[in-house]
């Protein structure tokens, strides 16, 4: 039932856009408006065919461009996450030990020594989070 309502709503929107587009296409102006001039180059309510094509091109460019970019970004994130899951599932299952010995694999010390990006990222996250917290509580506000 919900799908049927959704399909009917989408169809009504598409039909409404078609009616407006066909009305605007017949006399070159938006329905329900009164033009100030007969020259379509000087009016904001009517357009020439070239202006209509440029409007369509820029509308498509400005809507599909960001959507495609965001979709590509999400695709990359999902691919990368899945790659890490596949890699982790192929490895043998051993728990992480909380030892600071960097010589033993699967310890906290080994992770800290062999992945400095993780440590730098965590330190930066703590610093930025602390600065935001201090700013929110008003520590930087002059008294």
Q: What is the pLDDT of residues 32-49, one digit of tens each?
A: 777 777 787 887 767 778
> The whole model's pTM is what?
0.37
Instruction: Provide mean pLDDT across the span 5-21.
Output: 86
Which of 29-33, 42-46, 136-140 shows the lowest mean pLDDT across its residues? 29-33
Q: Rounded to an integer, what is the distance from CA 12 to the centroid of its chain?
A: 28
Percent of the chain with pLDDT over 90: 22
Question: What backbone torsions phi and psi does residue 139 show, to the nearest 5 degrees?
Answer: -70, -25
Q: What is the pLDDT of residues 96-130, one digit of tens each?
A: 788 888 888 888 888 888 888 988 998 999 999 99
Burial 70-81 (b: 16+ CB within 10 A, else e): eeeeeeeeeeee
100 Cβ partners below 8 Å, 6+ apart?
107, 108, 109, 112
Band of pLDDT at residue 30, cut at 50, 70 and 90: low
Q: Which residue has the higher pLDDT, 138 or 129?
A: 129
Distance in Å from the first CA to the final CA of the chain: 61
């Amino acid at each position: 039932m919900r799908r049927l309502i959704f399909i009917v709503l989408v169809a009504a929107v598409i039909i409404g856009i078609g009616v407006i587009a066909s009305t605007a296409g017949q006399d070159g102006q938006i329905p329900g408006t009164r033009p100030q001039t007969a020259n379509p180059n000087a009016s904001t309510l009517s357009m020439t065919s070239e202006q209509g094509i440029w409007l369509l091109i820029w509308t498509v460019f400005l809507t599909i461009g960001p959507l495609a970019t965001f979709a590509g970004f999400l695709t990359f994130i999902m691919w990368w996450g899945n790659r890490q899951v596949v890699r982790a599932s192929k490895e043998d299952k051993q728990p992480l030990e909380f030892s600071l010995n960097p010589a033993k694999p699967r310890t906290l010390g080994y992770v800290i020594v062999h992945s400095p990006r993780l440590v730098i990222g965590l330190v930066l996250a703590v610093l930025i989070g602390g600065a935001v917290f201090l700013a929110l509580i008003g520590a930087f506000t002059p008294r």
